[in-house]
């Protein structure tokens, strides 16, 4: 086989390897993005749960405060009933009035705090729903990726062996040209030349449309063991066999 034929078969198997790897890579990328979004949703949910616990604790503290005031009020009422002294009676009464105000204020705060807790709980239902949705998406992405690995894995290993085999027929220098072009053009390492005017031997690179200089065409059309690269995109150029025959005539 000629160099160009070997390069064309390398290109064929290389494209298949890349396409399969691409499938696996995109399933993996999708899975990773689902993992991230799931983790975000869970941490939002957990954060909200802990906020609610803190808010509930605050509400309990305020209620305890109110209860302590209530106990104090009850004790003072007892003293008030037993009181015979006018002055003491007036003092207790004014203290009772102050305490009642404090208790009302504490009850109001407790109510407001419980309102906040209820609001946060409603939000939590929403956030928990989102986290559950994210879990479902993550599960299906994991399943998809695993299935892809099963489907692709074996075939990919086989193709990679074929690729190594095809590459072994290409000399190091040309293989380097091929690999570099494949890297830059996502696997499109080769381009067929296209005639713009076959009679006048005017050809362009089929990938980027750059004109092929006559001296390069001369090599390409006569020496199938030389790698000619496009002056612009650096892809390795080749001619369809029938075009090659026509060029010889
Ligand atoms: Zn080109």
Dihedral (CA of 170, 171, 172, 174) sign: negative
In this prediction, residue 241 carries a pLDDT of 75
Which of 58, 92, 91 minimizes the C-alpha distance to 75?
92
Q: Rounded to two decimals, what is the model's pTM?
A: 0.69
Q: Which long-range contacts (CB under 8 A, 24 or more apart) does 216-225 make?
A: 217/193, 220/193, 221/247, 221/248, 222/248, 224/2, 224/3, 224/4, 224/5, 225/2, 225/3, 225/4
Cα(163) to ligand 1 centroid in Å equals: 24
Strand partners, 193: 205
CB contact set of 173 (below 8 Å; sequence gap of 6+)? none
In this prediction, residue 71 carries a pLDDT of 97
Cα(240) to ligand 1 centroid in Å equals: 16
Q: Rounded to an integer, what distance in angstroms lies between the CA atom of residue 175 and that of residue 207?
A: 20
- pLDDT category at 94 given cuts 50, 70, 90 is very high
Task: Name all domains of the chain by residue range, CATH numbers in brackets.
Answer: 3-167 (1.10.287.1490), 173-248 (no CATH)
Cα(212) to ligand 1 centroid in Å equals: 9
Q: Read off the pLDDT of residues 163-181 as tens digits, 9 standing for 90 and up.
A: 999 999 999 999 999 999 9
In this prediction, residue 178 carries a pLDDT of 97
Least confident of 49-53, 54-58, 79-83, 95-99: 79-83
Cα(231) to ligand 1 centroid in Å equals: 7
Q: Rounded to an integer, what distance in angstroms lies between the CA atom of residue 92 and that of residue 98?
A: 10
- pLDDT category at 205 given cuts 50, 70, 90 is very high
Cα(6) to ligand 1 centroid in Å equals: 20
Residue 249 has pLDDT above 70, yes or no: no
Residue 246 has pLDDT above 90, yes or no: no
Cα(228) to ligand 1 centroid in Å equals: 11
In this prediction, residue 243 carries a pLDDT of 74
Q: Which long-range contacts (CB under 8 A, 24 or more apart) does 69-74 make?
A: 69/99, 69/102, 69/103, 69/106, 70/103, 72/99, 73/99, 73/100, 73/103
Total Cβ atoms within 10 A of residue 1? 11
Cα(36) to ligand 1 centroid in Å equals: 40
Cα(113) to ligand 1 centroid in Å equals: 70
Mean pLDDT on 56-64 = 97
Residue 94: burial class (beta carbons within 10 Å; 0-12, 13-18, 19+):
exposed
Cα(161) to ligand 1 centroid in Å equals: 29
Percent of the chain with pLDDT over 70: 98
Cα(211) to ligand 1 centroid in Å equals: 8
Cα(187) to ligand 1 centroid in Å equals: 14
Cα(98) to ligand 1 centroid in Å equals: 91
Strand (E) or helix (H) holding 205: strand 202-205
Instruction: Give me the residue label for tokens 């006048």.
Output: 200
Cα(171) to ligand 1 centroid in Å equals: 22
- pLDDT category at 228 given cuts 50, 70, 90 is very high
Q: Rounded to an integer, what distance in angstroms lies between the CA atom of residue 150 and that of residue 154?
A: 7
- pLDDT category at 198 given cuts 50, 70, 90 is confident
Cα(11) to ligand 1 centroid in Å equals: 16
| Residue 135 Ramachandran class (φ > 0 left, ψ -120 to 50 alpha, else beta) | alpha
Quick one: DSSP state of residue 240?
-
Q: Read off the pLDDT of residues 134-164 as tens digits, 9 standing for 90 and up.
A: 999 999 999 999 999 998 988 999 999 999 9
Cα(177) to ligand 1 centroid in Å equals: 14
- pLDDT category at 245 given cuts 50, 70, 90 is confident
């Amino acid at each position: 086989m000629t160099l160009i034929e070997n390069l064309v078969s390398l290109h064929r198997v290389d494209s298949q390897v890349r396409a399969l790897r691409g499938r696996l890579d995109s399933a993996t990328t999708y899975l990773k993005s689902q993992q991230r979004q799931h983790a975000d949703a869970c941490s939002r949910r957990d954060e909200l749960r802990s906020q609610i616990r803190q808010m509930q604790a605050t509400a309990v503290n305020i209620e305890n405060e109110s209860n302590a005031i209530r106990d104090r009020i009850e004790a003072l009422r007892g003293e008030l009933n037993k009181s015979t002294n006018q002055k003491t009676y007036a003092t207790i009464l004014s203290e009772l009035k102050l305490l009642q105000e404090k208790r009302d204020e504490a009850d109001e705060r407790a109510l407001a705090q419980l309102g906040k807790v209820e609001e946060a709980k409603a939000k939590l239902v929403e956030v928990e729903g989102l986290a559950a949705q994210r879990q479902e998406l993550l599960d299906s992405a994991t399943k998809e990726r695993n299935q892809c690995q099963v489907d692709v894995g074996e075939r990919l290993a086989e193709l990679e062996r074929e690729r190594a085999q095809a590459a072994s027929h290409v000399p190091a220098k040309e293989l380097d040209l091929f690999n570099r072009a494949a890297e830059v053009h996502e696997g499109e390492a080769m381009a067929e030349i296209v005639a713009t005017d076959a009679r006048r031997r005017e050809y362009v690179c089929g990938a980027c449309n750059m004109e092929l200089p006559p001296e390069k065409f001369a090599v390409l059309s006569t020496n199938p063991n030389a790698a000619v690269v496009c002056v612009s995109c650096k892809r390795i150029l080749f001619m369809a066999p029938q075009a090659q025959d026509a060029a010889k005539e």
